[in-house]
Amino acid sequence: MKKRIALVAHNQKKAQMVSFAMKNKELIESLGYDLVTTGSTGDRLEESGFKIYKKYRSGAYGGDFDIGARINEGKIKVLFFFLDPLSSHAHDADISGLQRLCNVHDIALATNPATAELIVKGLLKG
């Protein structure tokens, strides 16, 4: 089964996600993983030239649950979820649930670009 990397970003972090992805485009593409996203994060990445395997609904409309289900199925190896720590979110419980699933299933989780870069470089070596 082909592994996937999930990319998710709060609205205030979408530009940061696109910037990270563009900076690391060659590395990300060389890994050979399919990319899955939630709604508008995927739209922004597609506009920047990324091929998205699957776009789920927006996180607030169940996309976080969709990503979580794929983690439970063993289909996601890494979750890049750029969080906005300075804003409250109506779906905070969903976000906490995704973080919990990553810990339960030993899935690498990056909530900011610095950690995401380390994970990408680590995947290249592993």
Exactly one of 34, 64, 84, 92 is catalytic; name it. Answer: 64
Does the reported pTM lie above 0.85? Answer: yes
8 located within any domain: no
Q: What is the CATH number of the domain that holds 32?
A: 3.40.50.1380
Count the domains in the chain: 1
- What single DSSP character describes residue 38? E
Which uninterrupted H or E stretch holds 82? strand 76-82
94 carries an active-site annotation: no
Mean pLDDT across the stretch 78-103? 85
* CA 18 – CA 37 distance, rounded (Å): 12
* CA 89 – CA 70 distance, rounded (Å): 22
pLDDT tens digits along 37-81:
999 999 999 999 999 999 999 888 889 999 999 999 999 999 999
